[in-house]
Amino acid sequence: MQQRVLYGLLGVAMLVVICLLDAFIAHALIDPDFIRPGSALGDVLRSCFDEIHDQPLGRLLARGSCIPIVFLGVVLLGAIEFRKLLITRSLRPFAGFASIAIAAIFLSPWLSAAGWLGHEAVHVEGIYWPVVLLMISFVLTAVLAVLRGDASSVLRDVGATWIMIIYLGFLPSFAIQIRCSDSVPDWHGAWLFLAILLIIKFSDIGAYLVGTSMGSRRPFPALSPGKSLEGMIGGVLASAIAAVIITLCGRMGAGLTASPESAGNLDHLTYLLIQLGDLFGRRVNDSLMPPILRAVLFGVIISAFSQIGDLLESGFKREAGIKDSGSVMPSFGGILDLIDSPVLAMPVAWFLLTAVWGVI
């Protein structure tokens, strides 16, 4: 248990660093004066950002950098693990093509937000290109199946390829939409992305701690023998508490940032918490639900779907006859074991924040 907690904290720390660096690059490109002069490194960075901030590359990096690039590597490693799962069931997905489709769909919200895929409003909108590329991927999969010329497993192989593309390309692309969406001002998408991932991870942590200490009822023994009802409830409560804490940070920050002078004197950690809470916890126009209640509901829903994602991936592994999808991190398993919760929770978060509450 101690090793699992240690590696879990290390993973959260790495996540925070990635989001901080992503936000720093975007902030510096949008407002080069953000980098204070006086040091050799600061002067070099200001010069570099001044040079590219109005160039296509600068516009792209202002909508995201470390987050889309790092997590692209994560989903592509997940595709390798997923292919191994499918092969154990005698399935033959078009894995190389699927990886290309996953990368294209996953990155399309980032590229479209920067105007790289067109400047019309529909082209910049985050959902347009993932849907278009998903449709193209489905059609090309059918072409590959016909060219393979093997009628004995067309249905199985096409279905295996499609599930790879949806599970590791289309569904995770909603996380990139949250980070890179043009409707999220400036660099704040990095904080929103981090806030949602923290809420998801608090659900995982709460479910694990409560489940290992007092879990006894096993509602899904065929999918996940270790998953307990008590642990699932603990995960929901932990996620709701995390969402409320983030919201309270935003409300606290409203007073601290009342004047530019006070905002300029804030330490980096306080500024980070304020950015997280302000985006998620602000009052939504035409919404009668107060931010705290919305945070609780958000945490409960996100935890529920993150745990369904965990159970789904456990089902994949059970059918394949393996315990872990890989061995990337000790005590956690492979890439699929790390991303199973966000894969389902991020699209739900995107839907709640766009269609339901209009936060982004």
What would the pLDDT profile of 220-274 be if each residue is shown by its tens digit? 888 888 889 999 999 999 999 999 988 887 666 555 554 444 444 555 556 666 7
d(CA 112, CA 181): 9
The yes-or-no verdict on residue 281 having pLDDT over 70 is: no
pLDDT at 33: 73
Segment 296-310 mean pLDDT: 95
| Full-model pTM | 0.90
Percent of the chain whose predicted confidence (pLDDT) is above 70: 84
Please give the Cα distance from 176 to 109 (Å, whole number): 6
Cβ atoms of 12 and 201 within 8 Å: the answer is: yes
- The whole-chain average pLDDT of the chain stands at 85
pLDDT value for 177: 94
- At 325 the three-state DSSP class reads coil
pLDDT of res. 246: 86
φ and ψ of 333, to 5 deg: 105, -140
Section 147-159 average pLDDT = 92
Alpha helices in 114-259, H assignment, sequence order: 121-124, 128-148, 154-165, 173-180, 188-214, 229-256
CB 141 within 8 A of CB 133: no
Separation between Cα atoms, residue 305 and residue 297, nearest integer Å: 13
Name every residue whose Cβ is closer than 8 Å to that of residue 223 and which is 6 or more positions away in sequence: 311, 314, 315, 318
Question: Where does the pLDDT of residue 175 fall: very low under 50, low under 70, confident under 90, or very high at 90 and above?
Answer: very high
pLDDT of residue 37: 67
The more confident residue out of 359 and 216 is 216
Does the pLDDT of residue 18 top 90, yes or no? yes
Provide the angle, in degrees to the nearest 10, between the axes of the packed helices 95-113 and 66-88. 160
Q: Which residue has the tokens 């400036």?
A: 186
Q: How far is CA 320 from CA 79, 89, 285, 342, in A?
A: 15, 6, 48, 22
Total Cβ atoms within 10 A of residue 27:
18
Report yes or no: 168 and 78 within 8 Å, Cβ to Cβ.
yes
Average pLDDT over residues 6-25: 87
Q: Which pLDDT band holds residue 106 (cuts at 50, 70, 90)? A: very high
Q: Which of 39-48, 68-77, 340-349 has the lowest mean pLDDT?
A: 39-48
Is the pLDDT reported for residue 163 higher than 60? yes
Q: How far apart are CA 184 and CA 188, in angstroms?
A: 6
Tokens of 3: 């090793």
List for the chain the helix, strand, coil content (%; round to 5).
75, 0, 25
Tell me: pLDDT of 50 over 60: yes
- The set of residues, in sequence order, having a beta carbon less than 8 Å from that of 151 and lying 6+ positions away, is none
The helix/strand/coil state of 333 is strand
What's the average model confidence in pLDDT over 161-183?
94
Mean pLDDT of 77-96: 94
Rounded CA-CA distance 40/48 in Å is 12
